[in-house]
Structure 1
Amino acid sequence: MSVQDLAMVYPAHVSEMQRRATEALGRGGFDHLVVPSGTSHYHLFDDRDYPYAVNPQFKAWLPLVRNPGSWLVFTPGQRPKLVYLQPFDYWHVVPQAPAGYWLEHFDVVVIREPDEALQHLPRDPARCAILGEPQSTVGGFAPNNPAPVLQYLEFHRAYKTPYEVAMMRAATRRGVRAHRAAERAFRAGASEFGIHLVYCQAAAQDAMELPYNNIIALNEHGAVLHYTERDRVAPATSRSFLIDAGASHDGYACDITRTYAADTGSEFQALVDAVDAAQRTMCDQVRAGVDYRQLHLDAHQALAAILKDFGLVTVSPEAAVATGVSSAFFPHGIGHGIGLQVHDVAGFAASDAGGTIPKPEGHPYLRLTRDLAPGMAVTIEPGLYFIDLLLDKLKADGRGDSVDWSRVEAFKPYGGIRIEDDVVCTDADPINLTREGFAEAA
């Protein structure tokens, strides 16, 4: 989307942010919303700083992600104010003067020292809902993070505005470009570390700018769900490649996973294709009114059917699910909300006033339990893995007869399979941002 197009959809976004903030302040009994952008943190007993991470409550309003020490102030009935820190500093690159399609929607004041923000914040901190981390405190303005305000804002963050969908689409294009480059590097025989470097180069983002730590797994390493070790030397034979890697755009994330077989005529490739086909069907279920918990349970049924078709389990798909055998091969949730954060907030919220929707019994790692509604963006990421720890448990507790262990041994050298797309729920058909991105890049 061009800058001109963003300039057309952004006003409605900032208007919606003001509407939400007004309602949230009313629920909490506050007069002002005050949001610090965050500060740099330092290693213990050292002067080395951690990578700066902007406060999600700040970047929800405007596309500034490298501006520590700044503040957003909103008072209902008034234009939002941006207190913009542009320090005198010859040690680091100083943020440029404020500019962009968003600028005309804010009253902007530029400060040179962090404490100068006090001159431009509301008079009484006690009348402010201050959303942030303790390190952002300036004077009497210490983040209080009132529950009624956070509960409302985080619950409604699930519903993306057209502007936010555009941001996620842009992040996806960047991520898809990098995924394509990573696959080429895998097929050329690169190491995990080498593939990671190729990915960062193609995404034009280094590890600190990516929304999460890249998972680059060859062969058996695909059985480690969050494998981030990245061997520097390529294995003698690269049989499989699982990549779970995203990209960022103006504060919004994409989250994409693909699995590849070195031998595209192998049985492992056939298993990848079966999971991919099932995943596409699951993505089509991202529709208004669907209980995301049921989508997760249905995924277990579909994956158990694949296990049966490939001779990995000896019992019916229904029995594999009922006895928890399917969970040994698919031990994580079907996905999560995504947007300003990779694992977006309020995944279990019963309402914008609080409460919790429980996870299905026996499924502790599901990160979203809400009913889907138009505007919600979620990931769909089924997987099948060959994890010794979980498979050994099946043998130990008497469920080993449900598995054909010779078939498991044949697939173990490939590690595992995960396919993940980012999908937006609408009033009609879902928008699969990831498939859309790969189709454009073809």
Structure 2
Amino acid sequence: MNASAPSPDPAALYADHLATMMRRADEALARSGHDHLVVPSGTQHWQVFDDRDYPYAVNPQFKAWLPLTRLPYSWLVHTPGQRPRVVYYQPFDYWHVVPDAPNGWWTDHFDIHIIRKPEEALALLPQPAARCAILGEPQSALGDHVPNNPEPALLYLEYQRSCKTPYEIAMMRQAQRMAVRGHRAAEAAFRAGHSEFGIHMAYCAAVGQDAGELPYGNIVGLNEHAAVLHYTELQRAAPNPLRSFLIDAGASFHGYASDITRTYAHDTGSEFQAMIDAVDAAQQRMCQGVRAGVDYKQLHVDAHLALMGILKEFGVITVSPEAALATGVSFAFFPHGLGHPIGLQVHDVAGFAESDRGGRIPRPQGHPYLRMTRVLEPGMVVTIEPGLYFIDMLLDEVKQNGHAGSVDWARVDAFRPYGGIRIEDEVLCTEGEADNLTRPAFAEAQAAAA
């Protein structure tokens, strides 16, 4: 396990990050044949037949340049050879909180123009619009500046985003620390007998972010609910008895996401706790496999074999791990992918990209939900999240497909009330050993509490 890195000063890393962004933008423009890169931050979206807006979500292409995630109707403009420009929307408004005046370590690197109305941006955008590569959603159109999302530029920029800059890694480490605070509070709430909703609230309070600020909706499942992969219902009453708890939850820091999963048994001396421990040990070995030149698809297949080895050890399956994989039995117990790229987005872009000019690397046959098929490179950050679940729908398919003899159904019945297990860390691929971003954050928090 790598030692936890200290929290660096973002200002010390941001200049190099911005220089990288500008170099990438220059190449993207050369490929698409445009003169200017124009990136809207995005707009508010209004609910149908209502005057209420949905929670605002910033354009990822915008926050790749700027640590600004709550600034709609603004624009980033890059022209090769010139200082980048920010059109910064700061309305006159007494109904809502107005964004603060531009401040902080990023402001020294941009020409900043304040606008009070969205349409005032038009005079500050490059002309003619046809010479601009405009990256955004259709709703961000302003006059002739309609997002055109030229494919050569997008393919190149998204592919390059796979390898994080030192600034981005620092932001992601801090997002880990924040999420770990929440995970520790959530476990304590579970041990105290709280409901799913109560655990969720304890998590948010510890992180200091509400549902609109978290990178995704918290998955908080007690007992059988842990078998629903994206369970977000948050029951207000705790089940009796309490058996198990699965939490998949992250945090956001300057636009970068963390994504961590842990599973707990209420009875720490139970057989289910022993299975959690076995999955956790296997997961740590999988994390160590994140190395430059390793095919992520193979890591996923190897994870199936490791997890089926655990089920064989606990008497849940009666066949070899290899046979369980070949017949599809392993899919019933581990039906999702090993993980995904992560960064500005939880499921970050270019996980299937064959190159920065396009093409798609297919998933292995029989693994339809794997979100990453590339060969790992230094600078990539991926999640490693193996899981074992007892899902009635999928187990019924095992019987229907003629493989009922591959499973000891009495053992399934013993584990079914616990739902399932998932353990998830984020891992940075380096030139050498894997750099687990998650485990040191837990160790750091535990040491601080001692």
TM norm structure 2 = 0.97
Give the superposition deviation at 1:345.
Answer: 0.7
Match of 1:36 in 2: 40
- Between the aligned partners of 1:276 and 1:2, the Cα distance in structure 2 is 26
Q: Residue 102 of structure 1 aligns with which residue?
A: 106
Match of 1:81 among 66, 79, 85: 85
1:393 aligns with 2:415: no
The CA deviation at 1:8 is 1.0
Structure 1: how far apart are the matches of 2:347 and 2:159? 13
Are the equivalent residues in 1 in contact too, given 2:34–2:131 (CA < 8 A)? Answer: yes
- Please, which of 202, 208, 219 is the counterpart of residue 204 of structure 1? 208
Tell me, what secondary structure is at the counterpart of 2:250? strand
Find 1:320's aligned residue among 320, 324, 343: 324
Aligned to 2:418: 414
How many pairs does the alignment contain? 442
Q: Deviations over 1:289-335 (max 9, x none)?
A: 00000000000010010010000000011111111111100000000
Compute the displacement of 1:2 (Å): 8.6
Which of 132, 135, 150 is 1:146 aligned to? 150
- The question of 1:216 aligning with 2:257 is answered no
1:173 paired with 2:177, answer yes
Deviation at 1:4, TM superposition (A): 7.1
CA RMSD of aligned residues (A): 0.9
Aligned match of 2:57 in 53, 59, 72? Answer: 53
Question: In structure 2, what residue type is equivalent to 1:211?
Answer: P
2:255 paired with 1:254: no
- Taking the aligned partners of 1:431 and 1:440, their CA distance within structure 2 comes to 15
Q: CA deviation digits over 1:24-57, x for unaligned, max 9?
A: 0000000000000001101000001000000000
**2:73 equivalent to 1:69:** yes
In structure 2, the CA distance between the partners of 1:346 and 1:188, relative to structure 1 (3 Å rule), is: same
Aligned counterpart for 1:21 among listed residues 12, 20, 25: 25
- The Cα shift of 1:6 comes to 1.3
Q: Once the two structures are superposed, what CA deviation does each residue of 1:178-211 show, in whole Å capped at 9, x if it has no partner?
A: 0000000000000001101111111100001000
Confirm or deny that 1:383 pairs with 2:366. Answer: no
Aligned residue identity for 1:290: V
Distance 1:274 1:2 in 2: 31
2:195 to 191, 207, 218: 191
Q: How far does residue 397 in structure 1 lie from its aligned partner after superposition? A: 1.5
CA distance in 2, matches of 1:413, 1:260: 13
CA distance in 1 between partners of 2:113 and 2:7 (Å):
24
AA at the equivalent of 2:263? T
Q: For residues 235-256 of structure 1, give each alpha carbon's deviation from its aligned partner in whole angstroms, at most 9, with x where no partner exists.
A: 1111000000010001000000
Question: Could you tell me which amino acid in structure 1 is paired with residue 366 of structure 2?
Answer: G
Structure 1 runs (4+) deviating above 6 angstroms are 1-4
Report if aligned partners of 2:304, 2:334 keep a CA contact under 8 Å in 1: yes
Whole-angstrom distance in 2 between the partners of 1:341 and 1:317: 34
1:358 is the counterpart of 2:365: no
Deviations 1:146-186 (A, max 9, x none): 10000000011110000000000111100000000000000
Shift of 1:404: 0.3
Q: How do 1:322-361 residues align onto structure 2 when only pairs under 5 Å count?
A: 322-361=326-365
Per-residue deviation, 1:396? 1.2
In 1, are the aligned partners of 2:8 and 2:170 still within 8 Å (CA)? no
Q: Hey, what's the Cα distance between the residues in 2 that align with 1:276 and 1:71?
A: 44
Q: Percent identity at matched positions?
A: 70
Counterpart in the other structure of 1:133? 137
What is the distance in 2 between the residues matched to 1:322 and 1:51? Answer: 44
- Give the equivalent residue in structure 1 for 2:372: 368
Structure 2 residue identity aligned to 1:77: G
Residue aligning to 2:440 = 436
Contact conserved, 2:17 with 2:167, CA < 8 A, in 1?
Answer: yes
Tell me, which stretches of 5 or more residues in structure 2 are unaligned? none
Instruction: Return the letter of the residue paired with 1:420.
Output: E
What is the DSSP-based 3-state SS (H/G/I as helix, E as strand, rest coil) of the residue aligned with 2:221? strand
In structure 2, C-alpha distance between the alignment counterparts of 1:152 and 1:51, rounded to whole Å: 29
Displacement after TM superposition at 1:3 (Å): 8.8
- SS of equivalent residue, structure 1 residue 164: helix
User: In 2, are the aligned partners of 1:3 and 1:101 still within 8 Å (CA)?
Assistant: no
- CA distance in 2 between partners of 1:107 and 1:428 (Å): 40
TM-score by length of 1: 0.99
Matched residues in 2 for 1:97 and 1:381: separation? 41
Which residue identity is paired with 2:222?
L
SS at match of 1:168: helix
Q: Which letter maps to 1:102? A: W
Of 277, 287, 291, which aligns to 2:295?
291
Structure 2 Cα separation of the partners of residues 389 and 332 of structure 1: 14
Given that 1:28 and 1:148 are in contact with CA atoms closer than 8 Å, whether structure 2 keeps it comes out as yes
Question: Offset at 1:430?
Answer: 1.4
Structure 1 gaps of 5+ residues are none
Query: How much does 1:268 deviate?
Result: 0.1
SS in 1 for 2:311: helix
The CA distance in 2 between the partners of 1:357 and 1:134, in whole Å, is 28
